[in-house]
Amino acid sequence: MEYQKKSYHMEAVCGSAHYQIAAYWSRVLNKPAIKAYQASRRGIVLTANYTATQKGVKTGLALWQAKSACPDLVVVPPRMELYLQFSSMLREIYGEYTDLVEPYGCDEAWLDVTGSTALKGDEKKIADEIRSRVKKELGITVSIGITWNKIFAKLGSDYKKPDAITQFHKENYQSIVWNLPAANLLYVGRSTRTMLNRYGIKTIGKIATSDPDFLERLFGKMGLVLYSFANGWDDSPVAPEGYAAPIKSIGNSTTTPRDLATNLNP
């Protein structure tokens, strides 16, 4: 029987906005809302809820642009201390199921529950229980991705929101994951997406089936990383907070004030 690591990615959500992790937001759940500082007209949208995004409001827009697209927009200032408080409470619940919890931002985390299934039930049962407890005890929801690696677990948590569980198996991931936009893959930012689009690579499946040498020529070593991620070949462990990888080598170098070969001044 093949041993498979059961990796989760949890993204805390509340109501219709993935960043709403406080009861403070309850009065605007059904209204288009953003998180932003209103100190000046030049402020930008830090995050937008689902209702706002449906009206064309996106993260990174100038505040005046967002209000032009959605005049009835509700602007709420960030409350980082509250987010951190809820983040801590979330991780307390996660810690009752596994000690392998790797934070990813203040409202997301990876969990490895491989060693917990014998006592807690299979991965789906554990996910359902965590989702139910978080909703009941904290009044917020989590979207959960279940699979065998961290990259697809992150994709799974983003696949359906809010308050949902998505499971990718080695038998079904190609029919689902490979049809998702390339931009959904971790580490595909704006410039990488633009370059991929230039060569007609618009889905994760296209990355997975591209020539790895071609991707390496485009992006260097990161091209091979993207190729591996798209194929689900990520075997990096879930690293608990505070974990430090062992030191493999130590280097000591000095930058000289001028070129020693030509003795030219900089």
Question: Which residues belong to the active site?
Answer: 108
Closest CA to 53 of 76, 77, 69, 29: 69
- Are the beta carbons of 205 and 67 closer than 8 angstroms? no
**Roughly how many angstroms between the first and final C-alpha of the chain, as a whole number?**
62
- Are the beta carbons of 234 and 211 closer than 8 angstroms? no
Alpha carbon distances (Å) from 108 to 24, 87, 146, 237: 19, 8, 14, 16
User: Which residue spans within 63-186 are E strands per DSSP?
Assistant: 74-76, 101-103, 108-112, 141-147, 165-167
- Are the beta carbons of 75 and 36 closer than 8 angstroms? yes
Closest CA to 127 of 86, 94, 88, 169: 94
Measured CA angle at 229 (ends 93, 186), to 5 deg: 60
Q: Write the single-letter amino acid at 246.
A: P
**CA-to-CA distance for 139 and 158, rounded, in angstroms?**
20
Please give the structure tokens belonging to residue 49: 């809820």
How, if at all, do strands 108-112 and 141-147 pair?
unpaired
Return phi, psi of residue 102, to 5°: -110, 110
Please give the structure tokens belonging to residue 189: 């930012």
